[in-house]
Amino acid sequence: MNQGVLEQGVDLQSHNTLRLPGQARWFARITDPDLLPELLEWADSQQLPVQVLGGGSNVVLCSDIHGVVLGIAIRECHWQVLDEDQAILTLGAGENWDTVVRYAASIGYRGLENLALIPGTVGAAPIQNIGAYGRDLSDVFESLDAWDRQQARFRTLGPEECNFGYRDSLFKRDPERFIIVRVRVRLSRSAPFRLDYGELAREVADHADLQQELTPEAIADTVSRIRLAKLPDPAVLPNAGSFFKNPVVDQATGEALRQQFPGLVAHPDPGGLKLAAGWLIEQCGWKGHREAHVGVHSKQALVLIHHGNGTGAELLALAGRIREDVRARFGVTLEIEPRLIGNEG
């Protein structure tokens, strides 16, 4: 057992963007996939639960972690050029997502630009199939390599096996099983841009200069500008992005809601209608709400904030009251988006 990678009693506050308090009994920084088999065997022999962590931007830390936290820091980046147009970019799970988006865009490859400025690591991107401004990871996903704890071996999984959906995947449904070490995306020099998402479409329409020189970099800049205007910087106001998923209701329920609430913000979805949870929460009066340690962002009601000295339990209590109000007023149940880790997880 390589004791070098293991630390005991590590403070996790700086390892989660909500800056919630908690300690890891054991913490191992994983820089090389080959460290995993022995480490996991050791954890199993000690009957210690294992929690994987990337940048901590989509978790709610509810308590100390009594097992082993694996901090994924695997670095790798290389290209396989397929032809004049397409290339496959292979990335270590510990690479920073936004750095990769910027890098690919800077050399003219398209496909990642709408996903600029999403915090976190490459290895976490498939977990909830990250998405923004009309694009999801699954649009460019090629394959990934992961350690399968059930089969005790490294496996390569393609898009079919990953079962991606809206903020959903195989990994979200079976969270203990896979540790992703490497992700491949297929990028193109000429694929059409996706510019039809409401706010992005408006920004492009308003900027003649942008229309004249549409590059992946220019689009990544535009998306970043939109995001910075309404999403709080976790370094200033600790948060985990959207706290709830946008709920999907069947067509009949959606139409009935539209009749009753003419201002309802909703978009067609294969399952019926996808409702804007931020709108539902705002209608219930929660936008900008502040209590001692936690609150709701004043520019985006879907984002809950930790103002400091609070706990995961306080944040979840606030989330529970918001859910109750939305359910009572609209008959719609909101599902929490980030992963709860620790005792509540």
Write out the residues near ligand FAD by the rule CB under 6 A: 17, 52-59, 72, 93, 118-121, 123-125, 127-128, 130-132, 175, 178-180, 231, 234, 239-241, 339
Task: List the catalytic residue out of 57, 63, 169, 242.
Answer: 242
Across-strand partners of 295? Answer: 290, 305
Contacts to ligand EPU by CB under 6 A: 132-133, 198-199, 241-242, 245-246, 265, 276, 278-279, 282, 287, 300-302, 337
Contact 318, 20 (CB under 8 A): no
Nearest to 126 by CA among 149, 156, 85: 156
Across-strand partners of 306? Answer: 294
- Choice between 86 and 298, CB closer to ligand FAD: 298
Looking at residue 163, the DSSP 8-state letter turns out to be T
Nearest to 246 by CA among 112, 116, 117, 132: 132
- Choice between 102 and 182, CB closer to ligand EPU: 102
Alpha helices in the chain (DSSP H): 36-45, 97-106, 159-162, 170-173, 198-206, 208-212, 216-230, 251-260, 277-283, 312-330
Q: What is the CA radius of gyration of the chain?
A: 21
- Choice between 114 and 257, CB closer to ligand FAD: 114
* Minimum CB distance to ligand EPU, residue 275 (Å): 9
Give the Å distances, CA to CA, from 305 to 21, 60, 98, 294, 323: 14, 11, 22, 6, 16
Query: Is 14 assigned a catalytic role?
Result: no
Task: List the catalytic residue out of 95, 203, 217, 337.
Answer: 337
The residue behind tokens 């191992």 is 28
* Minimum CB distance to ligand FAD, residue 98 (Å): 9
Distance between CA atoms of residues 41 and 44, nearest Å: 5
Given ligand FAD, ligand EPU, none, residue 110, with its beta carbon under 5 to 8 Å by kind, binds none
Query: Is 102 assigned a catalytic role?
Result: no
Give the Å distances, CA to CA, from 23 to 16, 49, 141, 312: 11, 14, 34, 13
Given ligand FAD, ligand EPU, none, residue 121, with its beta carbon under 5 to 8 Å by kind, binds ligand FAD
Query: Is 242 assigned a catalytic role?
Result: yes
Given ligand EPU, ligand FAD, none, residue 53, with its beta carbon under 5 to 8 Å by kind, binds ligand FAD
Distance between CA atoms of residues 251 and 180, nearest Å: 37
Given ligand FAD, ligand EPU, none, residue 123, with its beta carbon under 5 to 8 Å by kind, binds ligand FAD
* Minimum CB distance to ligand EPU, residue 20 (Å): 16
Tokens standing for residue 206: 């308003």
Given ligand EPU, ligand FAD, none, residue 43, with its beta carbon under 5 to 8 Å by kind, binds none
Tokens standing for residue 179: 């540790």
Residues ≥6 apart with Cβ < 8 Å to 287 = 281, 296, 297, 298, 301
- Choice between 20 and 240, CB closer to ligand FAD: 240
Task: List the catalytic residue out of 110, 135, 167, 339.
Answer: 167
* Minimum CB distance to ligand EPU, residue 270 (Å): 15
Given ligand FAD, ligand EPU, none, residue 124, with its beta carbon under 5 to 8 Å by kind, binds ligand FAD
- Choice between 255 and 276, CB closer to ligand FAD: 276
- Choice between 77 and 253, CB closer to ligand FAD: 77
Annotated catalytic sites, by residue?
A: 167, 242, 337
